[in-house]
Structures are given as structure tokens and as C-alpha cells.
Amino acid sequence: MPVKNRFAELLPEITGWRRDFHEHPEILFDTHRTAGRVAELLKEFGCDEVVEGIGRTGVVGVIRGRADTKGRVLGLRADMDALPIIEATGLDYASKTKGAMHACGHDGHTAMLLGAARYLAETRNFDGTAVVIFQPAEEGGGGGREMCQDGMMERFGIQEVYGMHNWPGQPVGSFAIRPGAFFAATDQFEIEVEGRGGHAAKPHETIDTTVVASQIVIAFQTIVSRNIDPVQQLVVSVTSFETESKAFNVIPQKVTLRGTVRTLDKEVRKLAETRLIKIAEATADAYGATARVSYMRGYPVMVNSEEQTQFAAKVASNVSGSCGDAPLIMGGEDFAFMLEERPGAYVLVGNGDTAAVHHPEYNFNDDAIPAGCSWWAGIVEERMPTA
């Protein structure tokens, strides 16, 4: 099953949807325009059921095949939200929303799944039910968790679930995947270090929070180098060091540190959290200061199921001729919540030689649309073939 001719025919229309979404990006759960347009199109395609408002602003479409002899139900998920980035592409369809941009290709994901939904609603050449899922708030809001907590899997009887993400640097329309842990768990921390502020010319009368906080930052590096098995993956990054004073001659009373922890194993995740809190508190105490740590667990590790990964790779190979081995990725993906609920798999589709995701010059490559749509359609038709 190579790229389907129907998607070549539909490419101008699907590209039009994609560029419209790109021009009108929406952030987190505020995807009202996007969700409304998605629901409108699904109804036009003749989906058997279209439900809005799942996971706040998520949309679900139900497409029943020609037969339903085995009661099979597959979920196909795309994300809809954009990022709080100022676009710098110079495109004629660049963002018209100040401070928002589709810098991760969710506009492309949504358009590709809409293209697949149209094809599946036209042909219905499968035995079972396809459930197309359009999710808000992947970029830090946990929209996947919200949709699951709304009972989506049970309500629509979803048995397996599949997702896709474009990948810059990978040849256009090619695929890559891996079984097991794939994308990292993404935790955040905020640490308020408090000492005793004072005049910079009299440091002996202070408890210097900049020194204390600096020691904490350096000590955190030992979590990776001395606490974790070297064959395990862990990232501990302090990304913000903020004092309450901007003066040249003041030692601040407080310093706030912020950062992220990325892991691919549940036990490593627990250990990293424990050590980070202990190191911050003990280091501050050693200098006579205090450290108040807020540790926020984010997305869990995204884990591809073995059987479904093999199947997804087979479909990808049928579309593009092969399917490569994807690397471990320390970025997060809240499709993890859906994979905790049901077996499934997540695949990467090549975006070509473009700017990286989350970059102000990034743009989804429309040339990837036929391959992406064909993969979605193949997942349904090959997993639930008609007799």
C-alpha cells in the first residue's frame, strides 16, 4: 500500500486546511476556532458521530466501516494547539495571532488526520470503527490527560490508539519508530532560596543567596554523574536563575531557580526527584540559608506497545518502502497519557530539511501530507481488514 492516489488528489484541499490553521494558531485549551473548524469538516465528511467539548475543547469523530463483525475500535489522535512564539517565517500565511505560532506542526497533524478521516468516511473499506481524536493542549497543558479523564476511551470503546509527529531532519514522508520508552517524562521544579540580604560591600553580614543558589546548580550535576546508572538517560537542567534585586550593590534576600527534569524510566524519575529536593535543601542549610522546593510532575514517559509498534512500522513500510529506527527523545509528549490507557504506538514522519520544531522559522512541510494521511488510513484498513 504505497501513498494513496486519493491523497494526491486531495493535497491542495488538505494543504488549504493546514495553512488556515497555521494562520490562526491557538494556544493550550483555547482552541475554539480550530476545534470548531475540525468539527464542521468532520460533519461535512459524513462521520457517523461528531462530539465536541471532550477534554474541554477536544473533538472526536466516529467513522464506522462497511462491516463490524469483530467489534474492533481504533483511535487515531492528532494535536491542535500552537506555541507562544513570535513567528519569523515571512510566509504569506504566517500567524495573524500576536505571540502565537504553529511552531511544532500541529497544524499539519490536524490537517493530515482530517484528510484521512475524509478518505475513511468516503470508502469505509474496513471492518470495525475508526475514532479520530483531535486534542487540545499538548504543549504543556495535558490535553491528552483531560480527554482520558473525560472518559473518552470508555465512551467510544477505543481498544488501541495511534499517534504521529512530524520530524525535521528526517527525509520528507519517511517514517521512524521504536518500541518501549520513546519520549521522556517531563517534570518541572521551582526552588526559592532565602538567606539574608544586605550591602554587597559587607558580604560578611549577609547569607549570600547568589552563592548558595550557584552551589545548588552545580551540585545538581552530580545527580546525573554520580547517582544514576550511566546506561540510563537523565537530564537535569536549571533554566532560570532570578534574583529579587537588579542592583549592582545589593546581595538579594531571595533567589528563585527554575528548571526541568527529563527521564525515560519510572525508578530513575523517582530517584531524580528525591535527590534534587535533598540536594537543594541540604546545600542551602550548609550555608545557613533555606531552600523551598516545589516539584511538579508533568507528562509521564511515552511508551510504545511492542505489538502495535511492529504493526505501525509495517504500515509505514508499506507507505514509504521502509521504516527506520527512531532515537530516544528527551522531549515530552502527552500522547503518553493515552498510551497508559490503551496499547498503541507513536510514529515519526519526516519533515525534511527544515528548521527544528519550537523554532520561530519552523514550518510544517506540506509535501509530507500524502504519506501521513496514507499511514493513518493504512492503520485502519490493515488492522481491521474486510473479509
pLDDT digits (tens, 9 = 90+) for 302-345: 999 999 999 999 999 999 999 999 999 999 999 999 999 999 99
Q: Is the pLDDT of residue 128 over 60?
A: yes
Q: Averaged over 266-287, what is the pLDDT? A: 98
Q: What is the mean pLDDT of the chain?
A: 97
- Residue whose cell numbers read 519510572: 266
- 199 labeled part of a ligand binding site: no
How far is the C-alpha of 387 from the C-alpha of 379, rounded, in Å?
16
pLDDT digits (tens, 9 = 90+) for 280-300: 999 999 999 999 999 999 999
Cell of 377: 488510513
**Angle of helix 32-45 relative to helix 5-23, nearest 10 degrees?**
150
Query: Which pLDDT score is estimated for 198?
Result: 97
Q: Averaged over 277-282, what is the pLDDT? A: 98
5-183+302-383 and 185-299, same CATH topology: no
Query: Structural domain boundaries of the chain?
Result: 5-183+302-383, 185-299
Q: Is the pLDDT of residue 115 over 60?
A: yes
- 165 labeled part of a ligand binding site: yes
Q: Is the pLDDT of residue 61 over 90?
A: yes
Pairing between β-strand 198-199 and β-strand 250-251 as defined by DSSP bridges: antiparallel
Q: Is the pLDDT of residue 38 over 60?
A: yes
- 106 labeled part of a ligand binding site: yes
Q: Is the pLDDT of residue 70 over 80?
A: yes
Cell of 49: 458521530
In this structure, CATH architecture of domain 185-299: 2-Layer Sandwich (3.30)
Query: Which pLDDT score is estimated for 74?
Result: 98
How far is the C-alpha of 352 from the C-alpha of 285, rounded, in Å?
51
How far is the C-alpha of 37 from the C-alpha of 205, rounded, in Å?
63
Query: Which pLDDT score is estimated for 3?
Result: 79
Residue 181: closest CA among 339, 295, 317, 75: 339
How far is the C-alpha of 95 from the C-alpha of 90, rounded, in Å?
9
Query: Which pLDDT score is estimated for 4?
Result: 84
Query: Which pLDDT score is estimated for 327?
Result: 96
Q: Is the pLDDT of residue 2 over 80?
A: no
The beta strands (E) that lie in the chain are given as 49-54, 58-64, 73-79, 129-135, 160-168, 175-177, 180-183, 185-194, 198-199, 234-243, 250-251, 254-263, 290-299, 302-304, 324-325, 344-352
How many C-beta neighbours within 10 Å does residue 266 have? 13
pLDDT digits (tens, 9 = 90+) for 152-211: 999 999 999 999 999 999 999 999 999 999 999 999 999 999 999 999 999 999 999 999
What band does 12 get if pLDDT is binned at 50, 70 and 90? Answer: very high
In this structure, CATH architecture of domain 5-183+302-383: 3-Layer(aba) Sandwich (3.40)
Residue 121: closest CA among 376, 343, 383, 338: 376
